[in-house]
Amino acid sequence: MDGTGVHATQPEIGRIVKVLRGREQEGYAVIVRIIDARFVWIADGDKRKFDQPKKKNLLHLELLEFVSGEVADSIMETGRVTNGKLRYALNKFLESGQSEAHEKGE
């Protein structure tokens, strides 16, 4: 990140994020709702369930390229998503190796 807090990637429902600040720092989560231009709700389906999402400032998140279509479709269709689907999306992202490549700066 270049210090300006501006990301080329836009926040969208289903996008995987890396938490940069707060108790879940260095963890990953999924955007489950966009509040406005500055804030989103995130959940991971494990410690942070869909019914108890965390409100986060976008400046405290790193928006990653990976977007879970399953999570986005479920929220668009029913207004909610299962915690299992959130965990599945995060596991799929972590297993894809994108998190390691991302941390190496590739």
Task: Give me the mean pLDDT over the 70-97 stretch.
Answer: 96
* 4 domain residue, yes or no: no
Instruction: Give the whole-angstrom CA distance, residue 72 versus residue 88.
Output: 13
Mean pLDDT of the residues in the chain: 89
% residues pLDDT > 70 (the chain): 85
Q: Is 104's pLDDT higher than 70? A: no
Q: Is 5's pLDDT higher than 50? A: no
* 74 domain residue, yes or no: yes
| Confidence (pLDDT) at 103 | 60
The pLDDT tens digits for 29-77 are 999 999 999 999 999 999 999 999 999 999 999 999 999 999 999 999 9
SS3 1: coil
* 84 domain residue, yes or no: yes
* 9 domain residue, yes or no: no
Could you tell me the two tokens for 104? 């190496």
* 38 domain residue, yes or no: yes
CATH number at residue 28: 2.30.30.140
87, containing H or E segment: helix 83-95
Q: How many domains does the chain have?
A: 1
* 34 domain residue, yes or no: yes
Could you tell me the two tokens for 99? 């998190």
| Confidence (pLDDT) at 46 | 96
Q: By residue range, what is the domain housing residue 27?
A: 15-103
Q: What is the CA radius of gyration of the chain?
A: 13
Based on DSSP, count helices (H) and strands (E) in the chain, helices before strands: 3, 5
| Confidence (pLDDT) at 8 | 57
Residue 1 pLDDT level (bands cut at 50, 70, 90): very low
* 89 domain residue, yes or no: yes
